[in-house]
Amino acid sequence: MKNFRFIVLACSLGIFLVFSFESFGQKIDSAAFQIKVLGISIGNMEAKRTRKDSIETYDLQSQVSFWFFGKIYLNHQVDCIFRNGKFMESTVDSQTNKGDFLSKIFWKKDHYQVQSETYKYENSTPISEEVFSCISKLFFTKPKDGDIILSETYGLTSPIIEVEPNVFQMTINGNKNQFYYENGVLDKVMIENPIKNFVMHRIY
């Protein structure tokens, strides 16, 4: 009788696990980076990708604090959604000692509506072409030479160029950013910034 009960319980549990996987199953990938200026750690960033059916979401959270002719701090949150491989929308929320900024991009019928605001920059020019990659996606997917990449913060697109093997460069609003990959995985990012240039090193 005890064995019978055990078998029934195991079968029930198995059915529940299968049901849960099929109903709620999703694949989650994560990565973490240490942010440095001149070799000194000033913060960190956590990135997450969630995939379920035809939907992909990206979630990047950064916290930075350092002294540069005064205290500089930044809390930066990026959320974006892809459907069937196509970029659909994003929100970038930045809280800084230079002010709070919000950028939103979303697909509307035949173009992307852009309302971008960040430090000393605003942009509301629509994007007419469909987009299939963005900066958040680069943290999990190695691009191809010539891919068009969207900056969720600036609401601008730019081709990304493989300047040397496994090193890709893109220029957004005059800032050059470089992405370094090892075995197809992003290892380091060098970011030009109006306040201070950053280097991001992968932790895991």
The amino acid present at 185, given as its one-letter code, is V
User: Distance between CA 155 and CA 101 in Å, rounded?
Assistant: 13
What pLDDT, on the 0 to 100 scale, is given for residue 24? Answer: 64
Tell me the per-residue pLDDT of 58-76, one tens digit each, with 9 for 90 and over: 999 999 988 766 778 889 9
106 sits in the region (left: phi over 0; alpha: psi -120 to 50; else beta) called beta
Predicted confidence (pLDDT) at residue 3 exceeds the cutoff of 70: no
Predicted confidence (pLDDT) at residue 145 exceeds the cutoff of 60: yes
Least confident interval from 13-22, 109-118, 174-183: 13-22
Tell me the per-residue pLDDT of 106-117, one tens digit each, with 9 for 90 and over: 999 999 999 999
What pLDDT, on the 0 to 100 scale, is given for residue 69? Answer: 64
Q: Position of tokens 């892809």? A: 82
User: Distance between CA 148 and CA 136 in Å, rounded?
Assistant: 13
Report how far apart, in Å, the C-alpha atoms of 34 and of each of 37, 45, 50, 126, 161 are: 10, 6, 22, 34, 24
